[in-house]
Amino acid sequence: MSKKLVLKDINKNFGSLIAVENVNLTVEPGEFVCFLGPSGCGKTTLLRIITGFEQQSSGTLTYDNLDISNIIPQKRNFGIVFQSYALFPNMTVSENIAFGLKMRKVPKNLLEDRVEEMLNLMGLAEWKTHYPAQLSGGQQQRVALGRAIAIKPKVLLLDEPLSALDAKIRVRLRVVIKKLQHDLGITMIYVTHDQEEALSMADRVVIMEGGSIKQVGTPWEIYREPQSRFVAEFVGTSNFITGTHQNSTLKLGENQLKIDGINDVKSDQVNVAIRPEKIDLLTDAEVSEGVELSNLMKVKIETVTFLGAVVQLTFNIEGTEINVDLVEKRYAELELKKGDRVNLYFPPESFHVFAEHN
């Protein structure tokens, strides 16, 4: 029997405010799905509708072919992990993990075995008699995860669970959560505004803006094939060029850039985007016959920004700022500096073309 979670035509209004609009989504059994978007885009409201803490204004939710639209949270048997941990300060680690099991009146011997299993799984065995105030933020979040998983939920929902932690602990816990999800085969829905988190963890990413879904796909698809300017801008970084097109080209400075797929857009105005790492920086010796000459231009380096493994070069082409990312080794080999003039090459197949021009 299918264990799919299906959201159909979900809407949520708070008075005149539309928080969630016409959301349709199917989450497959054992899938790790991330809701990704800026603050106020509706992702947490949508998560709360799935948990049952918020009632949708219209639409239906089904799980395992059962309509759960009006079922109270306790009856849905979904596990929830919050940003704030929400641990009981007067309970030990073991007691916090056992709480949901006690509420479900699990027999004592089974409860103790399950708590022990969670302590080992979360790497908390030596902390089991400690209280939350004696733990680090990362340890507290592990307790919250253990408590949520202990009840063997049908779906585990996580609302920005790592946002209160420092960067290195966040990265470590990402690995913990992803491994848990894989090992347990549990369906997870994870809310975040952090694109790196979403891309590194999710099987599929759901991009939201203004209460609606803008794109759904694997991290690879979302990054490589953004379907709108918003997605290209929100996930990763892009260079945007807006202008008129004619005969498969777009004007940039004195150049008519040849762009694959530009003629699919029917309007005169067009937006194109190209990722900074997709622009090639070529020495004179590297300019070959296979290069589309209209897409090659000699430009002065305006700024150099060292970002560790990547060095970002910024150029100004008649008022359009263009960023190019080079791996540090390539940058060092070329011995580049601010003010140097270099050959930039824009491969025609590396552009994303959007109909909207705002």
The domain boundary, picked from 230, 251, 283, lies at: 230
Same domain? 337 vs 200 = no
Q: Count of domains in the chain?
A: 2
The domain boundary, picked from 230, 256, 278, lies at: 230
pTM of the model: 0.88
| 144 touches 161 (CB < 8 A) | yes
| 343 touches 310 (CB < 8 A) | no
Same domain? 199 vs 281 = no
Same domain? 275 vs 128 = no
Cβ count near 13 (within 10 Å): 14
Same domain? 204 vs 302 = no
Same domain? 146 vs 241 = no
Same domain? 254 vs 338 = yes
Distance CA 132, CA 123 (A): 15
Which residues touch 53 (CB under 8 Å, ≥6 apart)? Answer: 73
Q: Domain containing 244: what range?
A: 237-354
| 322 touches 313 (CB < 8 A) | no
What pLDDT score does 2 carry?
Answer: 66
Same domain? 85 vs 205 = yes
Q: Residue 112's domain is classified under what CATH number?
A: 3.40.50.300
In the block, residue with structure tokens 């603050």: 39
Q: Is the Cα torsion angle 200, 167, 178, 150 positive or negative in sign? A: negative
Helix axes 137-150, 167-184, angle to 10 degrees: 20
Same domain? 243 vs 210 = no
Cβ count near 2 (within 10 Å): 12
Distance CA 248, CA 258 (A): 6
Same domain? 123 vs 30 = yes
Q: Residue 295's domain is classified under what CATH number?
A: 2.40.50.100
CA-closest candidate to residue 217, choices 226, 209, 338:
226
Same domain? 156 vs 298 = no
Distance CA 238, CA 229 (A): 9
Convert 241-270 to b/e letters by CB count within 10 Å (16 or more is b): bbbebeeebbebeebbbbbeebeebeeeeb
Distance CA 37, CA 193 (A): 5
What pLDDT score does 358 carry?
Answer: 45
Same domain? 243 vs 214 = no
Same domain? 258 vs 176 = no
What pLDDT score does 10 carry?
Answer: 97
The domain boundary, picked from 179, 203, 230, lies at: 230
Per-residue model confidence as pLDDT tens for the chain (358 residues): 468 999 999 999 999 999 999 999 999 999 999 999 999 999 999 999 999 999 999 999 999 999 999 999 989 989 988 888 789 999 999 999 999 999 889 999 999 999 999 999 898 999 999 999 999 988 999 999 999 999 999 999 999 988 878 888 888 889 989 988 988 899 999 999 999 999 999 999 999 999 999 999 999 999 999 999 999 999 999 999 987 787 778 887 778 899 998 888 877 778 899 999 999 999 888 887 778 888 999 999 999 999 999 999 999 998 889 999 999 999 999 999 999 999 999 999 999 998 764 4
Convert 105-122 to b/e letters by CB count within 10 Å (16 or more is b): ebeeeebeebbeebbebb
Distance CA 140, CA 152 (A): 20
| 129 touches 143 (CB < 8 A) | no
